[in-house]
Amino acid sequence: MTIVRRLVAVMLIITAATGLFAMGAEEMGYPDPEKTITIICPQAAGGSTDLIFRTLAEEMKNASGGQNFIVSNVTGAGTATGTNDVLNADADGYTLLAGGTHTIAATMQGLTDGYKNMDYVVGLNLDPFIIAVRNDKPWQTFEDLVEAAKAAPGEISFGNAGMGGATGVACVGINLAFDKVFNVTPFNGGADLIASVLGGHCDAGVFSQSEVVANIDSFRPLVILGDAHSTIEQLSDVPTLAEAGYPDIKVPGGSYRSIMVKSGTPAEVEQWIADVAEEAFNSETFQEFQAANGMIPQFSKLEEAKADHEEYIAQYEPILKEAGLYNM
């Protein structure tokens, strides 16, 4: 082969390789319009995470020009069952995880390999946490609740949506701050926790703000765990931990939601999902949904989403280690 022919051959190889690398998801045949993209929500239907992703899925359908998106609730094992379903699926972009801080908590507790084997596609929002009780309970303030628990250690049940979730970590952090006077009680998702508190089977709970809003006629909110007041009018007077007299308590202030996929998903596919999710996130419907429920927008894509998750990982690790729940 002459030098010229060799050079031509090399150039053809480079051109072909470059073209393959630059090929977008559509050129790869993704998404197949005949297939459904499933977002697995590892919490029960009716909870705040479920409602967020059902709203987003409909907007992603619109943003993609009609691609079918559905939300499938797969609960159990502190969000690990649904997470594992994503890990056991093909890394082809047709099975997504409604992930976030609950994925971090479940992974650190050894319930799932979770974020160790997943990629971050987009970050969405932060849903602030509020400690609330049923409105006929005797405690008017968070201090009242704490003093009652100190007077009868282990008797006041303090519920969360599951030890594999962010409310579980917040619940444990609060309990540690008061020398474990509460009876920390996990439930199978936010909907189960709500039903148990409203039914009188659990005394108090850590809820996503959107869950308190949905049940405002039946709940008495005592304290918000974030650093700022709620932007929702009905909850704007709920004090922060610092205002309630506990400025030194540092626990997760809310539940961060994101979309994650199994590692090995083609970069072009992840980019397509991220772009569609971004358009859906910025839709009027989703923005109004977030505002109505007091969620704090925190949109990020791909590498930025990874950086956001790493900040939450650094926040959760010391709490779970102190509680003896860290198992990685």
In whole angstroms, give the CA distance from residue 82 to residue 73.
Answer: 8
Looking at residue 23, its pLDDT comes to 56
Nearest residue to 173 via CA among 315, 327, 296, 43: 315
Residue 22: pLDDT above 50?
Answer: no
Q: How far is CA 170 from the centre of its chain?
A: 14
Nearest residue to 296 via CA among 221, 229, 248, 216: 229
- pLDDT, tens only, 224-283: 998 889 988 899 999 999 999 999 998 888 989 999 999 999 999 999 999 999 999 999
Could you count the other beta carbons within 10 Å of the beta carbon of residue 153? 13
Could you count the other beta carbons within 10 Å of the beta carbon of residue 8? 12
- Burial annotation 218-249 (CB, 10 A radius, 16+ → b, else e): ebbbbbbbbeeebebeebeebbbbeebebeeb
In whole angstroms, give the CA distance from residue 235 to residue 223.
Answer: 10
Nearest residue to 198 via CA among 227, 176, 177, 220: 220
Two tokens at 135? 């409105």
- pLDDT, tens only, 208-223: 888 898 899 999 999 9
Two tokens at 232? 């929702």
Residue 16: pLDDT above 50?
Answer: no
More confident residue, 27 or 55: 55
Looking at residue 21, its pLDDT comes to 36
| 40 in Cβ contact with 182 (< 8 Å) | no
Looking at residue 11, its pLDDT comes to 42
Could you count the other beta carbons within 10 Å of the beta carbon of residue 319? 20
Instruction: Classify domain 31-126+255-322 at the CATH class level.
Output: alpha beta
Phi, psi at 182, each rounded to 5° = -90, 155
Name the pLDDT band for 10 (thresholds 50, 70, 90): very low
Phi, psi at 61, each rounded to 5° = -60, -45
Name the pLDDT band for 294 (thresholds 50, 70, 90): confident
Nearest residue to 251 via CA among 180, 326, 181, 315: 315
Average confidence score pLDDT of the chain: 90
- pLDDT, tens only, 180-197: 999 999 998 888 999 999
Residue 12: pLDDT above 80?
Answer: no
Specify the CATH superfamily of domain 128-235. Periplasmic binding protein-like II (3.40.190.10)
- pLDDT, tens only, 42-83: 998 988 899 999 999 999 999 999 999 999 999 998 899 999
Looking at residue 54, its pLDDT comes to 97
Q: What is the mean pLDDT of residues 74-100?
A: 96
Name the pLDDT band for 176 (thresholds 50, 70, 90): very high
Looking at residue 103, its pLDDT comes to 95
- CATH 3.40.190.150 in the chain is located at 31-126+255-322
More confident residue, 166 or 108: 108
Phi, psi at 158, each rounded to 5° = -125, 105
Residue 92: pLDDT above 80?
Answer: yes
Q: How far is CA 215 from the centre of its chain?
A: 20
- CATH 3.40.190.10 in the chain is located at 128-235
Could you count the other beta carbons within 10 Å of the beta carbon of residue 279? 15
